[in-house]
């Protein structure tokens, strides 16, 4: 019994039981290819557990879908020339495109200039929320998201010293996640007697200095990119010498 699967018997095409039509060899081949493709796609969907959601990816939250202030970026700091999208949920208006001025301020609709430079999107949204609710709104859910980063500006410097070929301070471009390994490469790379397994990243925090020990050799050899720290302005990278040079 066929049950709708089109097989050939003694080289003759078999009828489609649903339509009574006989498939030609060309149609039979097309059907076979189509069937294999459908099976392949079913396996792919089953492997991924169904459709891929935005939350399963590493992409940032889309500006137009952000509806809570907790979802706003709290890492990248704004600066002159950066463009952001701005809206207040309660207004039910479309997002507006605003640009941070050369003096570091943002012209907030219905309010005026608010200091933006040096703040993250979440910090700025919190400040604007406070100002709006103080004078204009009973409740304001402010959504601010980076639209375009002005990559011509510099957010600060990272300092590289020790067993590298060119010690010194190196600029951190806006909108770029400069890591420890990349900073070392910019400094000319390791010298001949460097200890690549115990590179220190020293960072000033509100609670004092914090030191991270990074195995750069492992990052390069094994691809442990998640262990490659992103530097911040005024970070110090110290590359020590090997205890035994051979």
Q: What would you report as the CA-atom Rg of the chain, rounded to the nearest whole angstrom?
A: 29
Q: What is the pLDDT of residues 138-187, one digit of tens each?
A: 999 999 999 998 988 888 899 999 999 999 999 998 878 899 999 999 99
- The SS3 assignment for 3 reads coil
In this predicted structure, the answer to whether residue 15 has a pLDDT above a threshold of 70 is no
pLDDT of 28: 61
Tokens representing 75? Answer: 């890492």
Give the Cα separation of 42 and 62 in Å (integer): 29
Q: What is the pLDDT of residues 183-219, one digit of tens each?
A: 999 999 999 999 999 999 999 988 899 999 999 999 9
Q: How many CB atoms sit inside 10 A of residue 26's CB? A: 8
pLDDT of 134: 93
Q: What is the pLDDT of residues 71-115, one digit of tens each?
A: 898 888 899 999 999 999 999 889 999 999 999 999 999 999 999
b vs e for 49-60, b when ≥16 Cβ sit within 10 Å of the residue's Cβ?
Answer: eeeeeeeeeeee
Superfamily for the 154-239 domain: Outer membrane lipoprotein wza domain like (3.10.560.10)
pLDDT of 18: 44
pLDDT of 27: 59
As a CATH number, domain 63-148 is 3.30.1950.10
Q: How many CB atoms sit inside 10 A of residue 120's CB? A: 18
Taking alpha carbons only, the member of 147, 241, 224, 148 closest to residue 179 is 224
């Amino acid at each position: 019994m066929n049950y709708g699967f089109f097989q050939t018997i003694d080289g003759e095409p078999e009828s489609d039981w649903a339509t009574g039509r006989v498939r030609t060899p060309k149609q039979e081949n097309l059907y076979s290819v189509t069937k294999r493709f459908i099976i392949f796609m079913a396996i792919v969907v089953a492997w991924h557990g169904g459709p891929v959601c935005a939350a399963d990816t590493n992409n940032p939250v889309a500006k137009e879908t952000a509806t809570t202030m907790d979802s706003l970026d709290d890492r990248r700091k704004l600066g002159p020339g950066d463009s952001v999208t701005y809206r207040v949920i309660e207004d039910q208006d479309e997002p507006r495109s605003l640009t941070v001025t050369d003096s570091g301020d943002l012209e907030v609709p219905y309010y005026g200039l608010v200091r933006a430079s040096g703040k993250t999107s979440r910090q700025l949204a919190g400040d604007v929320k406070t100002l709006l609710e103080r004078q204009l709104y009973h409740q304001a859910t402010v959504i601010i998201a980076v639209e375009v980063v002005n990559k011509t500006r510099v957010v600060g410097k990272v300092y590289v010293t020790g067993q590298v070929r060119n010690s010194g301070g190196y600029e951190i471009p806006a909108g770029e996640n400069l890591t420890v390994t990349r900073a070392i490469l910019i400094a000319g790379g390791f010298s001949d007697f460097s200890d690549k397994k115990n590179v220190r990243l020293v960072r000033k925090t509100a609670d004092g200095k914090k030191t991270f020990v990074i195995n750069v050799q492992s990052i390069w050899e094994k691809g442990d990119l998640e262990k490659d720290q992103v530097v911040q302005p005024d970070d110090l990278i110290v590359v020590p010498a090997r205890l035994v040079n051979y």
